[in-house]
Chains A and B, each alone.
Chain A
Amino acid sequence: MRVARIWAWITFGIGAAYFFIPLIATLEFSMRMRRGEYSFDAYRIVLGDERFQATFGYSVVVAIFTILLGVLVVVPTAYWIRLRMPQLRPIVEFITLLPLIIPAIVIVFGYIRMYGSNSPLPFLGSARGTDVLLIIGYATLALPYMYRAVDTGLRTIDVRTLTEAAQILGAGWATIIARIILPNVLIAVLSGAFLTFAIVIGEFTMASLLNRPAFGPYLQNIGANRAYEPAALAVIAFAITWGCMSVIQILSRFAPRSASAPAN
């Protein structure tokens, strides 16, 4: 028993070291910009850089629109599949997994060929159109995470009975989704939203090939030309991702509790 416990701690220690040592090393390196002492100079430079502010701001806006698009597409789809077409579920799950299999570079080349300025849908003919295409592309990339999060949320409620209860009380589809389904899977939707946010903030391939001023290409550019600032940026990006995860954890405490396990 005692020996098993010691081995468990050793395994945990190795895993933690594998995870934390590079992180600590990156943090330590990012603070060595000033010779002979630790400082936050690299962070000051990065955060003060106009391009950082512009690209980060751009990526945040794109992430918000991506989340909205993802919610609008995924919530009704997952709801409908669960309610009326459960036989299609394996097919939809396969489709939502495709972005994990098909590299982003393939998708973006497809976009460039399909939506060029001479095509019937000339997204690439203007900067705004390209932004829209980028948002659609990101929604696709985030699909595996958003769909799974929402589908898991829907699994925790009795979708069919709640829908029928609302219907018989006179509610239409929009009311049912907005007032009953969405609030009950809100935490799951937020989990999907923060994962989407984390993906969009760090994404490089699509933004770079569509030539949009996003945070990913900026990270890559700084990484190729500077010494300490990339480490500071890596730590900042890591903090943002962890912040998102923490928010998911905090929000999940406020999830509506199931009525299926009554008080007594």
Chain B
Amino acid sequence: MAETFLSIQNVRKAFGATTVVQDFDLDVGRGEFVSFLGPSGCGKTTMLRIVAGFEEPSAGRVMIGGKDVTNLKPNQRDIGMVFQAYALFPNLTVAQNIAFGLKVAGVAKAQSDGRVAEMLSIIKLPEFGDRYPYQLSGGQQQRVALARALAPKPKLLLLDEPLSALDAKVRVSLREEIRSIQKKTGITTIFVTHDQEEALSMSDRIVVMYGGKVEQVGSPFEIYNKPATKFVANFVGTLNVLEGTVSNAQSGRVRIDKKEIAIKGKLNGSKTGDVLSLALRPEAISLGRRPGNDATLSGEIAEVHFLGSVIRVRVNLGNSAVSLDTFNSPAAPPPMVGDKAEVSFKAGDVLVLDG
């Protein structure tokens, strides 16, 4: 990580008797794109609002560029922010909206006009300066909101679920655009979302939150492939969770549905007889035996969903079930519900979940 630019230290926030954020600690490097990911009510937006200065923390502090800003008002923090509801000023044109922050800062008109033209070109709306917000589509409005936030060259950019009000197609194109603008400007960015796909595809690092606490901080690769907790594993991506009993702790053998597999080195100190939650991503499981897969379980095909290029198959394994994905091939017919089937995987791909 580059030098720390934003530092959130032991922040706690309570509304009356309800604690919505607790023990939040995070260092964000200069130019880094960090996402706060979690379900509704996990405290991610509250944490963002604390960074923005709209909420005061009950404890802890926020440092930006080495300066303690905990007690500064939002208009003294030099932060840009994009809101879920666009929040463009309806009485001002697109150009006036983008110029608002510059005007407040007392930037000369000629300079401000130049910056507005530059921002309009960055968001690819150079002809839209004279239009009013109501004359724009949702995606265009959100791009203007991004330009407005970036125009005064803030130190930090906060994005509060900026894509959730948009339709799926616009969401994908705009998230690529946001990331490309962020990389171009090199601005340190915090992005709040409940959409794991957005977080995984855009972020340098992800902070997964649940119940006001940080569950895990890591790169998208780490979060997806090495989830630290059961919640992270379940929340990010699709996951098969199987119950296994340690049959021999010393040799690392675990029994799943009467079959034994060896997952040595992953037992985290479990003793023989302990019951473990074992997780497998659908893409780690193959239908039938495969070379290199050292663990096999037998069952019966329960569901088959044709998804175009991929077929998702659900296989019942006695008391549990797993979902797996196979590629669609016009030459091979899809499996049939009720067929007996074997599933295989590499024991090394099994994740043992804590908590």
Chain A interface residues (CB < 8 Å from chain B): 157-158, 161-162, 164-172, 175, 179-180, 183-184, 256-264
In chain A, what residue has the closest Cβ to B86? Answer: A259
**Interface pairs A-B: 7 shortest CB-CB:** A259-B133, A169-B101, A165-B87, A183-B91, A256-B91, A257-B134, A170-B104
Query: How many of chain B's residues touch chain A, expressed as a range?
Result: 35 or more
Q: Choose one: A169, A172, A257; the contact of B100 (CB below 8 Å).
A: A169
* Complex A-B: 7 CB contacts under 8 Å: A164-B81, A165-B89, A179-B100, A184-B91, A257-B134, A259-B133, A263-B135
In chain B, what residue has the closest Cβ to A175? Answer: B104
**Chain A interface: which of B63-71, B72-80, B181-189, B248-256?**
B72-80
- A162 cross-chain contacts in B, Cβ below 8 A: 87, 89
Distance in angstroms from B88 CB to nearest chain A CB is: 5
Distance in angstroms from A123 CB to nearest chain B CB is: 38
- A166 cross-chain contacts in B, Cβ below 8 A: 89, 100
Given contacts A259-B88, A262-B140, 16 further A-B contacts (CB under 8 A): A158-B87, A161-B85, A164-B54, A165-B81, A165-B87, A165-B148, A169-B152, A170-B104, A170-B105, A171-B75, A179-B100, A180-B89, A257-B90, A259-B86, A262-B136, A262-B137
**CB contacts between A and B, total, < 8 Å:** 92
- A180 cross-chain contacts in B, Cβ below 8 A: 89, 91
Q: Is B231 an interface residue (CB 8 A)?
A: no
Contact with A along B146-180 (1 / 0, CB 8 A): 00110010000010000000000000000000000
Q: Choose one: A161, A169, A175, A262; the contact of B141 (CB below 8 Å).
A: A262
Cα(A183)–Cα(B104), bound, Å: 17
Contact A158 B85 (CB under 8 A): yes
**Secondary structure call for the A interface:** loop
In chain B, what residue has the closest Cβ to A176? Answer: B75
Q: Is B132 an interface residue (CB 8 A)?
A: yes
Known: A171-B75, A172-B75. A260 touches B135 (CB 8 A): no
- B91 cross-chain contacts in A, Cβ below 8 A: 180, 183-184, 256
Cα(A259)–Cα(B87), bound, Å: 8
Cα(A38)–Cα(B235), bound, Å: 86
Q: Is B263 an interface residue (CB 8 A)?
A: no
Q: Choose one: A157, A158, A170, A263; the contact of B134 (CB below 8 Å).
A: A263
- B54 cross-chain contacts in A, Cβ below 8 A: 164, 167
Q: Is B39 an interface residue (CB 8 A)?
A: no
- B79 cross-chain contacts in A, Cβ below 8 A: 168
- Count chain A CB atoms within 10 A of each CB in B91, B136, B152 and give the residue with the most: B91
In chain B, what residue has the closest Cβ to A161? Answer: B87
Q: Is B24 an interface residue (CB 8 A)?
A: no
Q: Is B60 an interface residue (CB 8 A)?
A: no
- B78 cross-chain contacts in A, Cβ below 8 A: 170
Q: Is B52 an interface residue (CB 8 A)?
A: yes
Known: A167-B73, A168-B80, A256-B132. A264 touches B137 (CB 8 A): yes
- B74 cross-chain contacts in A, Cβ below 8 A: 164, 167-168
Distance in angstroms from B258 CB to nearest chain A CB is: 58
- B5 cross-chain contacts in A, Cβ below 8 A: none
Contact with A along B83-107 (1 / 0, CB 8 A): 1011111110000000011001100
Q: Is B138 an interface residue (CB 8 A)?
A: yes
- B104 cross-chain contacts in A, Cβ below 8 A: 169-171, 175
Distance in angstroms from A261 CB to nearest chain B CB is: 7
Distance in angstroms from B167 CB to nearest chain A CB is: 10
Known: A168-B75, A260-B85. A184 touches B90 (CB 8 A): yes
- B138 cross-chain contacts in A, Cβ below 8 A: 262
- A169 cross-chain contacts in B, Cβ below 8 A: 75, 80, 100-101, 104, 148-149, 152
